[in-house]
Structure 1
Amino acid sequence: MNKEKQTYFPSLENVKAAAETIKKVSLVTPLSQSLRYSKQFDANILLKREDLQQVRSYKIRGAYNKISSLTSTQSKNGVVCASAGNHAQGVALSCKLLEIKGTIYMPAPTPNQKVEQVKMFGEDFIEIRLVGDTFDDSYHAAMLECKSLGKTFIHPFNDEKVIEGQATIALEILEQATEPIDYVFIAVGGGGLAAGLSTVFKALSPNTKIIGVEPEGAPSMTVSIKNDKNTTLDQIEKFVDGAAVKRVGDLTFPICKQNLDAMITVPEGKVCQTILDLYNRDAIVVEPAGALSISALDFYAEAIKGKNVVCVVSGSNNDITRTSEIKERALLYANLKHYFIIKFPQRAGALKEFVVDILGKNDDITYFQYAKKTNRENGSAVVGVQLKSASDLEPLITKMKAQNFYGDYLNDKPDLFQFLV
């Protein structure tokens, strides 16, 4: 009779050992109150600032704990990872500190800024190989090298030592908090951080509710828990790159399924607005995944009122070249940015008439692409309009239709939107 394989859960003993292992390389990051969010939600909102780590994310914890656990033979053979983000930086710094050679596979389209960051942390102890167009391409190449050369693969989340390293965040939060914690909101990608943190809280603070947060376009943990099995998604939206995976870890899934009190998905546009608010109002720079936990607060506004709430700010490796896209997505989410196909009559003064008679006094044309004259009477243009208030949309469309300028509305037609805009 075959015994059912027992589910792995990190032990407190191993998490405490990990905390001792990483204490020289991982900062005890602040658990600081956000006055603005506390006032907004009538709660005590505390931010666990993992964005202030040396590699600007919590990933150094798991990477260092794993790599430092290798045998002398494994260390001599070297390590391999596949990552275009925070995990790569954590592995690179760990390799340098432990003087172990590492090979880091990244997709060829990885922005040069990220490549240079990894080089900076790893220096002469790492080699970067840009392979393929996607993470999957890089991952397969990394696994081939591991098998052919006997190297150790450092997984970003599906590894016991990595999970135990990430779990050390929970020990710090519980030590730093001056009052019992009612809620912890935490970003979920592959599930390593959520699995580790939730296990510690269930053991030491079982009344704390742990809420996992995923991007709406990559709900791999949400779907898996709903299906009661680890499920691979066919497609995902990759914008929240630090938390966008098609499949969560086989180790992390059963832990999260048992320990998380709820999973919530947050629209990418909401995440973008949080990024902008943190930068403009609090001078805090976060990456999309780092904004997930805070972005979820709006959806729990009633539940958290008067409560002690921790949001783990998981990272700040945001590429400045994405700023325009972040602003655009935030405006689209807020229903302030709208794209139309406008039919302009083929006569002098038509554009002036549109600007003067159709647009409101606070409306602004932010995009204008004239296509071509489609017939003798009309010529079409794709026009982007930014509104001051979302309530201005219906009056604008009504005026367009009344004066025969309206062709089509593109925001709710994603395929056409992507093609034309």
Structure 2
Amino acid sequence: MGLDYLKRILTAKVYDVAIETPLEPAHSLSLRTGNHVLLKREDMQEVFSFKLRGAYNKMAHLTPIQLERGVIAASAGNHAQGVALSASKMKCLATIVMPTTTPALKIDAVKRFGGEWVNVVLFGDSYSDAAAHASELAQAKGLTFVHPFDDPDVIAGQGTVGMEILRQHQGPIHAIFIAIGGGGLIAGVGAYVKQLRPDIKIIGVQTVDSDAMAQSLEKHQRVTLAEVGLFSDGTAVKLVGEETFRLCEQYVDGIVRVTTDEACAAIKDVFQDTRSILEPAGALAVAGLKQYAAEMGLQNQTLIAISCGANMNFDRLRFVAERAEVGEQREAIFAITVPEERGSFRKFCDLLGPTNVTEFNYRMSESAKANIFVGIQIGNRAQADELQQRFIDSGFDALNLTDDEMAKLHLRHMVGGRSSMANNELVYRFEFPERPGALTKFLTALNPGWNISLFHYRNHGADYGRILVGIQVPPADHAEFDKFVQQLGYPAVNETENPAYKLFLK
């Protein structure tokens, strides 16, 4: 069966729609990992993913009668776009069933690629619902089902990615890293590469919450997941293919599981090297490569990651940027408990020294102790443990929240609220140059007789940082406070009369 796949891949019909994508060096990633990292840029296809290879190859092998009847597919994303473009090229009617929850962006893309040859049907809340409905329609109308991964012709089409890699880089390759959803891409690439270059490792990458293939390979049988994580929606598959599982058992050397934060960091890595923005599934291979290289202590090896898709929803970019620093192990997040008394704030900031603060949230508490939510830039995860111990040794209770999902997703935006203790509170917005020490300069210039009652700061990567601060200033000191604001030299806006502040914080 293996030799059959070699022939299928060598004779696959994909280049009517697909381009031979470049294999590009990732200079920054190479420097950081100590290896020669190459990216196979499948995100540069017309539909921004590899999926059109398998879809077109499947349709190109249909009989004239099958093409005349039409095809049907179920997909919420990249496969749908691949089938749509293929249908338009081949002048074949295609019905594409998508869940009702599919973003309008993706529905519009399918219609754009398919034009008059595509009919979009919205059905159900999930891919499983859409797929079941597509199967019913296929039987009722005699349509040919174009499976997103579990089909020999689809697998062979995806396998042409592996064929190109070996042609483009004929020197030593330690490993190729490939994202896994249903397994079509890794099955095809593995089937080709392992027969010609068995020395090259084929490493799959999945998210920790959508690891159906990893669990299936561990148990030597296909495992159906009850739930899958939706951040990497392109790989959110509950049950891998029967044929893809068989091929993965034969050709895959290992699977790396990565977190959402690590996927976000990988998106940032690829952006820094290429100025392209991958979707989460498209960046999984890079995240896996980084983890594998670190765990194995690899140096001076050639490592290839397939950047397999760039259909990113724009509204996800804020989340990605927020989580990338943690995923890169460059930000640690802590809950620090300090005595609710004058000077505690300053003492804590002195303890931070030259470290770069990425976030600082505080609201005066009703109790004798204050809780501060703080993010700190670090060089590696070990530094987070060192910082925590430094806080504890200095008498502060410190809870490391770096791996706490609720804290990262929700709590950081909810710290605050009203405080009956915040008498004589003035609220100001300040802007200051985004560099280490700017926060300390602000606190040093503050009159020790004025108590900080509210503080919110988040580094957004801009040249200027922005803070919202509440300071308890007796009315008799207002003139002195105005002088302090002027001498500080930072742009400032008085928000004490802001109606939103009065509603939610006063």
CA contact (8 A) 1:358 1:396 kept: no
Number of the residue aligned with 1:31: 23
Question: 2: distance between equivalents of 1:119 and 1:368?
Answer: 49
Q: Please give the alpha-carbon distance, in whole angstroms, between the structure 1 residues aligned to 2:49 and 2:326.
A: 28
The match for 2:10 is: 16
Task: From 91, 108, 123, give the equivalent of 2:83.
Answer: 91
SS of 2:257's partner is: strand
Matches of 1:118 and 1:37, distance apart in 2: 33
Q: How much has 1:236 moved relative to structure 2?
A: 1.9
The whole-number CA distance in structure 2 between the counterparts of 1:369 and 1:149 is 63
2-structure distance, mates of 1:377, 1:368: 14
- 1:108 is aligned to 100
The alpha-carbon deviation at position 27 of structure 1 amounts to: 0.3
Establish whether residue 213 from structure 1 lines up as the match of residue 217 from structure 2.
no
Write the distance in 1 (CA, Å) between the matches of 2:46 and 2:237: 25
Compared CA separation, residues 128 and 72, structure 1 to 2 (3 A): same
1:388 is matched with 377
Query: Deviations 1:37-66 (Å, cap 9, x if unpaired)?
Result: 333333332221111111111111000011
Aligned length: 400
User: What TM-score do the two structures reach when normalised by structure 1?
Assistant: 0.84
Please give the secondary structure, in 2, of the residue aligned with 1:170: helix
Kept in 2: contact 1:341–1:410 (CA 8 A): no
The change in CA–CA distance for 1:183 and 1:378 in structure 2 (over 3 A counts) is same
Unaligned runs of 5+ in 2: 414-506
Which of 333, 338, 345 is residue 338 of structure 1 equivalent to?
333
Q: Match of 2:377, SS?
A: coil
1:282 aligns with 274
SS in 1 for 2:96: strand
Partner of 2:421: none
Secondary structure of the 1:90 match is helix
Aligned counterpart for 1:300 among listed residues 293, 297, 301: 293
| Equivalent in the alignment of 2:50 | 58
Supply the distance in 1 between the matched residues of 2:245 and 2:367 (Cα, whole angstroms): 60
- Residue aligned with 1:325, SS: helix
Aligned-pair identity (%): 34
Paired letter, 1:338: I
* Segment drifting more, 191-200 vs 206-215: 206-215
The verdict on how the C-alpha distance between 1:11 and 1:395 changes in structure 2, with shifts beyond 3 A counting, is: closer
Cα offsets for 1:288-328 (capped at 9, x unmatched): 12212222223224454232322211111112210111122
Mapped to 2, the partners of 1:105 and 1:342 lie a distance apart of 53
CA distance in 1, matches of 2:393, 2:297: 42
Q: Does the 8 Å CA contact 1:10/1:163 hold for their aligned counterparts? A: no
Please list, as runs of the form range in 1=range in 2, the aligned pairs for 1:232-243 lying within 5 A after superposition.
232-243=224-235
Cα distance between partner residues in 2 of 1:165 and 1:369: 57
Q: Report SS of the residue matched to 1:171.
A: helix
Aligned residues of 1:358 and 1:399 also touching (Cα < 8 A): no
Correspondent of 2:318 among 313, 321, 324: 324
Q: CA deviation at 1:355?
A: 5.3
Distance 2:128 2:362 in 1: 37
The residue type equivalent to 1:321 in the other structure is D
Higher-RCO chain (CA-CA 8 Å, sequence separation at least 6): 1
1:258 aligns with 2:250: yes
Q: Deviations over 1:168-192 (max 9, x none)?
A: 1111111111313332111111111
Deviates more, 1:40-49 or 1:147-156: 40-49
Choose the corresponding residue for 1:199, options 176, 191, 200.
191
Q: Following the alignment from structure 2 to structure 1, what is the Cα–Cα distance between the partners of residues 410 and 32? A: 39
Q: Taking structure 1 as reference, are residues 243 and 366 closer, same or farther at Cα in structure 2, changes over 3 Å only? A: farther
Matched, 1:311 2:300: no
Of 122-131 and 36-45, the range deviating more from structure 2: 36-45
* Counterparts of 2:238 and 2:35, CA distance in 1: 34
Return the index of the structure with the highest Cα Rg: 2
8 Å Cα contact 1:10/1:199 also seen in 2: no
- Give 1:342 deviation, angstroms: 7.6
Question: 1:167 offset after TM fit, Å?
Answer: 0.7
C-alpha change, 1:414 and 1:100, in structure 2 (3 Å) is same
Separation (CA, whole Å) in 2 of partners of 1:253 and 1:290: 21
Q: Aligned letter for 2:217?
A: I
Distance in 1 separating the partners of 2:86 and 2:345: 58
Indicate if the aligned counterparts of 1:8 and 1:251 stay in contact, CA closer than 8 A: no
Instruction: Check whether the contact 1:10–1:164 (CA below 8 A) recurs between aligned residues.
Output: no
Q: Deviations over 1:266-287 (max 9, x none)?
A: 2221111111122134313211
Please give the TM-score of this superposition, normalised by the length of structure 2.
0.71
Instruction: Report how far residue 380 of structure 1 moved.
Output: 9.5
